[in-house]
Amino acid sequence: MIDVSDLRFLTALSAAPSLAAAARALNVTPPAVSQRLSLLEDRLRLRLIERGRGNLWLTAEGAYFVERAKGILDNVESLKDEMSARAGRVEGPLHVIAPFGFGRLRVAPVLARFGNENPELRPTLSLSEDPVNTINSGLWDVLIHVGRLPHLRITQRKLASNRRFLVASVSYARQCGLPQRPQDVSVHRVGVVRENRADATLWPLTGPGGIETSLRVQPVYACNDGEVLRAWALDGFGIVERSEWSVSGDLAEGKLVRVLPDWSLPDADIVALLNPATVRSLRISKFVDRLATDIGNT
């Protein structure tokens, strides 16, 4: 009597602000939605959605139905995934969320290669300012995070370790000199990545022999994109704090030099979070394996 498509249908409706909007989302005409909803309500002999002036809202029964439907749909989806995993196939949608910079520069190439090797894969990469905040959206399989994490009840896997450096360009070093002690930084021009909450102007430094100190910097320039900051540093702007993954090439090529090389900032390791609802598919485990090898060796 009840069908998977019914579950999908009402779940889609519950996410839409109006029947017309749902119709657009489902790529059908409004009467189709209206009729189908009526039919479903007739079959259940129960009102699921209260449609009033303007927007619509679920009845208590409708809300309960949607809640249960989501569970069942998860089950059905994961069954499908598990069957294809048992067949050893890498296929289906793979939705990856990653931070802007790291995602664009490091994740995207891996995902592209992985997708090419597995023609039946349908990869999606969502770059986000704050990936961790989108965890609860549910619409993702793998989420890449750089840095510390609050304690989450989610499977995570470390892809690579990642130190954070203070760097400056060679030209800047030549022109202005470099600080030898943390407190000397205050006379330099400093740039920071100003992101969401993390206090970017407080640098907890660990020095030789384990000495710890916190350095409050007064940044001259700031940007929420670390790559912009890196570019500024390369242009000789001043001292910036960047991740190892971002500047290791520049350091190796001698374009940038480390500032206070004996002092270290807390690590910001690169981890992959796995969505518990979809984790059983082969495409996901293989992709994470791939990330670990490819990113680990860059």
Decide whether 38 or 180 has the Cβ nearer to DNA.
38
Q: Is the dihedral angle over the CA atoms 142, 143, 148, 151 positive or is it negative?
A: negative
d(CA 152, CA 119): 33
Query: Phi and psi at residue 212, in whole multiples of 5°?
Result: -115, 140
Footprint on this chain of its own copies (rule: CB under 8 A): 1-5, 44-46, 60-61, 64-65, 68-69, 71-72, 75-76, 79-80, 82-84, 86-87, 89
Tell the smallest beta-carbon distance from residue 101 to DNA (Å): 37
The token pair that represents 202 in the structure block: 């407080």
Is the Cβ–Cβ distance between 175 and 236 less than 8 Å?
yes
Nearest Cα to Cα of residue 23 among 8, 36, 33, 12: 33
Q: How far is the CB of 39 from DNA (least distance, A)?
A: 7
Least Å distance between CB 46 and its own copies?
A: 5
Selection from DNA, its own copies, none that 46 binds (CB < 5 to 8 A by kind) is: its own copies
Look at residue 35 and give the partner it binds from its own copies, DNA, none, a contact being a CB closer than 5 to 8 Å depending on partner kind.
DNA
Sequence length of the chain is: 298
Name the residue among 147, 241, 143, 226 with its Cα closest to residue 185. Answer: 241
**What residue 36 binds from DNA, its own copies, none (CB within 5 to 8 A, per partner kind)?**
DNA
| Angle between helical axes of 4-14 and 30-44 (0-180°, round to 10) | 120
Alpha-carbon span 177 to 174, nearest angstrom: 6
Give, in degrees to the nearest 5, the angle at Cα 236 between 232 and 239: 75
Q: Which residues lie below 8 Å from residue 38, measured CB to CB, with a gap of 6+?
A: none
From the list DNA, its own copies, none, partner contacted by residue 75 (C-beta under 5 to 8 A by kind): its own copies
CB of 9 or CB of 245, closer to its own copies: 9
Q: How far is the CB of 237 from its own copies (least distance, A)?
A: 53
Least Cβ distance, residue 21 to DNA (angstroms): 6
DSSP, collapsed to helix, strand or coil, labels residue 161 as coil
Q: Looking at beta carbons only, is 2 or 112 nearer to DNA?
A: 2
**What's the closest the beta carbon of residue 60 comes to DNA, in angstroms?**
18
Nearest Cα neighbor of 193 from 167, 160, 158 is: 167
Pick 63 or 135: Cβ nearer its own copies: 63
Q: Dihedrals φ, ψ of 196, to 5°?
A: -50, -90
Nearer to its own copies, 76 or 231 (CB): 76
Which partner from the list DNA, its own copies, none does 164 bind, CB cut-off 5 to 8 Å by kind? Answer: none
Q: Choosing among DNA, its own copies, none, which partner's interface includes residue 68 (Cβ < 5 to 8 Å by kind)? A: its own copies
Q: How far apart are CA 268 and CA 277, in angstroms?
A: 26
> Considering beta carbons, is residue 11 or 126 the nearer one to its own copies?
11
Minimum Å gap between C-beta 71 and its own copies is 7
Least Å from the CB of residue 13 to its own copies: 16
Residue 18 touches which member of DNA, its own copies, none, C-beta under 5-8 Å by kind:
DNA
Binding-site ranges for DNA (CB under 7 A): 3, 5, 18-21, 26-32, 34-39, 51, 53-54, 56
